[in-house]
Amino acid sequence: MLVAERYEKIVQLVNERGSIRVSELSELCQVTEETIRRDLDRLEQAGRLRRSHGGAVSVREQQPETPYSEREIMHAEEKRRIAKEAIKLIQPKDRILLDASSTAWYMAAHLPDIPLTVLTNSIKVAVELSGKEKIEVISTGGLLASRSLSYVGPLAERSLDSYYVNKLFLSCKGVHLDKGISESNELQARIKHKMIGIAEQVILLADASKFGVQAFTHVADLGDVSRIVTDRSVSQQTVEQLAERAIEVTVV
């Protein structure tokens, strides 16, 4: 295979799959991983793909994050109801993790001032909780994603290695019964995947519009979720299918 042909094959594979690892490309193209890494560097410089940790992701299909100011008002009433219901799952002295979703911010706004430790990668959540004296707030730090006002990237991910929480409350871009939980971009998907790994319980906060959606980047399988809190617009069929998978669903 000529070098130019290999470049085209790599770009085709990345676009078809959304993302792919160096080891897979090495096997498919029958060249060393070091050669693949050099190829990916050149293709990234040409703007044909984007390097990621251990591989590459497509630049053709990736969707930008919805700005926080827009997410804050999308399905706002449903998110408030979901947030208030989720708060009922929190006990004094719990160690909880809140992601940077607008629903998590609604939780922070309504959370009573009780003894808690709250870990978050959200600037909005941290600021909201700063006036509650009994709540200890820990921020991950990291690369600031301005559209979501959240910390992402390797530093934010590594900071999570120091902690273990009782409960994680997170939202996402899409919830698909077969494909699992997904996000609009890789950085958000990676930090949320990391969050799931340090939590005893994973509580997914998802309004009905999220179901049946498969966004750009996979976060986790539905089997990693302990409970889902959603709104009453969700279909009964979806609730029954989730129950068949032993996932507890609360509809508000």
Q: Identify whether the C-beta of residue 22 lies closer than 8 Å to the C-beta of residue 59.
A: no
Between CA 207 and CA 123 the distance in angstroms is 22
What mean pLDDT is reported for the chain?
A: 90
With 0.85 as the threshold, say if the pTM is over it: no
Tokens encoding 219: 């976060």
Between CA 219 and CA 172 the distance in angstroms is 9
Q: pLDDT tens digit string along 185-240?
A: 888 999 999 999 999 999 999 999 899 888 888 999 999 999 999 999 999 999 99
Instruction: Name all domains of the chain by residue range, CATH numbers in brackets.
Output: 3-57 (1.10.10.10), 68-251 (3.40.50.1360)
Q: pLDDT tens digit string along 106-119?
A: 999 999 999 999 99
Tokens encoding 21: 């690892």
What average pLDDT does range 28-43 have in this prediction? 93
